[in-house]
Amino acid sequence: MSAFNDNNRLKFYCDTDRCIDCNGCAVACDEAHELPIGVRRRRVITLNEGVPGKEISTSIACMHCEDAPCSLVCPVDCFYIRADGIVLHDKDICIGCGYCLYACPFGAPQFPKDGAFGARGVMDKCTMCAGGPLPTNSEEEREVYGQDRISEGKVPVCAAMCSTKALLVGESDVIEKIYNDRVAARGYGEKNLKQTTVWKIAYYAGDRLKLKA
């Protein structure tokens, strides 16, 4: 694991007041990375569907957590966390055991199958559009891990294609400023981003443990 400054690590946040369940982020991810059928690196879920005034939609994927629970339970140590906080894994090492799926609080790990009753393949998940373990961004690596937009100075394709700018990605202080400005403009909402449930679960391990207690 590389040393990093928490304020500089890249993070995701979905503004549920702006998410309209259009699935543009999920479709963009599927198309950009040419994902196989059955693998969804990003998906949109809606809570309280059909209940007037209580529906909440949010975009879910790997949140690239502070301590990455998936990496803590991996028996072959295929995960690694970059200096910018992006959590990646090496598919050449992964054995498809599924431990990471059980540990992930967001259900991010995906496992392609060979037919309805086929064997489970190695794990696949959101890479925050940072490609694979090698910095070469070669054609072979792109085929396995998808696009490497981060090295090109671009935001992940899901955030780029979000029509309402609900899906935010970037350094912690940048996201916090955008969030605080939106809350001030709306006149309601949790004033401290760090106190929101998703932020606590993904980026503050101590708070996640308290939530489970």
What are the boundaries of each domain within the chain? 8-201
Question: According to CATH, what is the number of the domain 8-201?
Answer: 3.30.70.20
> What is the model's pLDDT at position 118?
56
CA distance 120 to 113: 5
Structure token digits, residue 31 = 């198309």
Q: What is the pLDDT along the chain (213 residues), one digit of tens a residue?
A: 445 566 678 999 999 999 999 999 999 999 999 998 889 999 999 998 888 888 999 999 999 998 899 999 999 999 999 989 999 999 999 999 999 999 999 999 999 876 555 567 899 999 999 998 876 678 888 899 999 999 899 999 999 999 999 999 999 889 999 999 999 999 988 888 888 888 888 987 655 455 444
DSSP conformation class of 189: S
Instruction: Compute the 3-state secondary structure of the chain and give helix, strand, coil in percent, each to the nearest 5.
Output: 35, 15, 50
Burial 79-118 (b: 16+ CB within 10 A, else e): bbbbebbbbbbbbeebeebebbbeebebebbbbbeeeeee
Instruction: Return the SS3 of 155.
Output: coil
Element of type H or E holding 33? helix 24-33
Residue-level pLDDT at 116: 58
